[in-house]
Chain A
Amino acid sequence: MLVPILLIASLVSIYIGSYMLNKKIPVPNEFKDITTSESCKTCHNFSCAYKK
């Protein structure tokens, strides 16, 4: 019973860590304007780094 809990907990912590790290890394300035792309209008992903 302990193994699945530990595994899920470790995977969740890896995800949270990677999400936080990714958020800390800024999007290069020259690519900030790509949020105007029509592709952005169909996506509601909460983890998107482009979301303002």
Chain B
Amino acid sequence: MSFTLFATAIISAMLINNVILMQFLGICPFLGVSKKSSAAIGMSAAVLFVMVISSAITYSLYDLVLYKYGIPYISTIAFILVIASLVQFVEMFIKKTSKSLYKSLGIYLPLITTNCAILGISEGNITNIWTETMPYWQGLFIAVSTALGTGLGFGLIIFAFSSIREKLEASNVPDAWKGVPISLVVAGIMSLAFLGLAGII
């Protein structure tokens, strides 16, 4: 559980295997909640928060229950239920305890239940990280680090994209390109730019 392992997992998940631009997960909030930077920041924070907690829970559930009892085939449905319940609990907790946090995250929490990036990372942790021989704590550490990097990568992209969209609103874009078409072109160019980071690790 060294710092190198942690840094590699973070950089790899954040820049190289970016969840939006490389894995094409979480496209719905990427396009839907990126019209304003403030909304993008709130959504990113909520995704990061839930992604880290859900990764820890789903990895533990798989390693300690599903694999142990020989029922890994129900992992997808179990993970969906875990994520949906977790979002409800997190919303409830924040509603009761912190009004400031609720103001910034509250409205985005229900959206996360249907965010496929959360489920994708939970499944990815099992497919790419988990092995029979890997010690539980080491796997959990890598899974949580990857989730942290993925959440940060999600935030980076959605914030950059929202800033570009705000700028585009004030630009002289031809009528046929206004709105979604120019946004998709921008997303494609961003994806190509991030492809250039593929060799840094």
Contacts and interface: CB of A to CB of B under 8 A. Distances in A.
Instruction: Tell me whether chain A's interface is mostly helix, strand or loop, or mixed.
Output: helix
Nearest to B99: A28
Given A21-B88, A21-B92, A34-B106, A12 B81 contact: yes
Nearest to B66: A7
A15 B85 contact: yes
Chain B interface size range: 20 to 34
Instruction: Tell me whether chain B's interface is mostly helix, strand or loop, or mixed.
Output: helix
A3 to B, nearest CB: 5
B106 A31 contact: yes
B65 interface: yes
Chain A interface size range: 20 to 34
Contact of B110 (A11, A34, A37, A45): A45
Interface string A26-51: 01101100100111101101011110
Interface in A7-31: 7-8, 11-12, 14-15, 18-19, 21-22, 25, 27-28, 30-31
B88 A50 contact: no
B49 interface: no
A25 B95 contact: yes
Contact of A4 (B71, B88, B91, B99): B71
Interface string B84-128: 110011011001100100110011101101100000000000000
Interface of B: 28, 32-33, 35-36, 39, 43, 65-66, 69, 71, 74, 77-78, 81-82, 84-85, 88-89, 91-92, 95-96, 99, 102-103, 106-108, 110-111, 113-114
